Amino acid sequence: MDSSEIKILLADDHQIIIDGLKSLLSTAKNIRVIGEASNGKEVCDFLKLIKADLILMDIDMPVMNGIEATKKIKQSYPDVRIIILSMHNEPGLIKTMISAGADGYLIKNCDQNELLDAVHKVASGQNYFSTDVTMSLLEKGHVSVNSISGDNHLAELTSREIEILTLIAEGYSNKEIGDKLFISHRTVDTHRTNLMKKLEVNNIAGLIRFAIKQGFIS
């Protein structure tokens, strides 16, 4: 992704935020803003016509908010990457957005360098959660200290892997997970194998322990 252009769609119901983001992103190499939307429905309508690589999305929007939009986009366009850009850093809302499929989460007071860093990392397939977001989760006990250590296993997981990990921990079989996510049970098995490698565990019990420690299930 580094060598190719990252096509970005901006979604926020405040034009001044859209204009500010366009200004910040216009100076960056290999990044192009291809559209803007003022609500989640407009985002979904846009994607039917033009493919974006990444969406910078607010949560509080009229007609369709960022939570509902993220869920719909990930169902229809799982390859489109989504970074939430919000004023809110409440742990419950952050966890809701991660569950919905968000690949990153930034607070609107972030600077240009962090924004660009997040865009490049998320576009390349990684997850990005700002320090403010991570600290908010940590302070409330939603994330273990280990998850923000240097070898951050959580950051290595894709949104689909987190989705599958959560369903495994909730007791669903490969076939049930495949049915829920509209993928084959062999694909689920591949994801499970990859999860074990990334998290350095040898069995389902290890995956479940990790999911509980990260707060994906209670």
The tens place of each residue's pLDDT in the chain, 218 residues long, gives 444 899 999 999 999 999 999 999 988 989 999 999 999 999 999 999 999 999 999 999 999 999 999 999 999 999 999 999 998 887 777 878 888 889 989 999 888 888 999 999 999 988 888 877 766 665 555 444 334 333 356 667 777 888 898 888 888 889 999 998 889 999 999 999 999 998 888 888 888 888 877 766 65
Residue 113, both tokens: 């360098």
Contact in structure between 85 and 61 (CB atoms under 8 Å): no
Cα separation, 97 vs 79, in Å, equals 17
> How do the domains of the chain map onto residue ranges?
6-143, 153-214
Q: Which CATH number fits domain 6-143: 3.40.50.2300, 1.10.1740.10, 3.90.1150.10, 3.90.600.10?
A: 3.40.50.2300
Q: Domain 153-214, what fold?
A: Arc Repressor Mutant, subunit A (1.10.10)
**Is-above-0.85 flag for pTM?**
no
Question: Distance between CA 162 and CA 197 in Å, rounded?
Answer: 14
Please tell me the number of Cα atoms within 13 Å of 10 on its side-chain side. 22
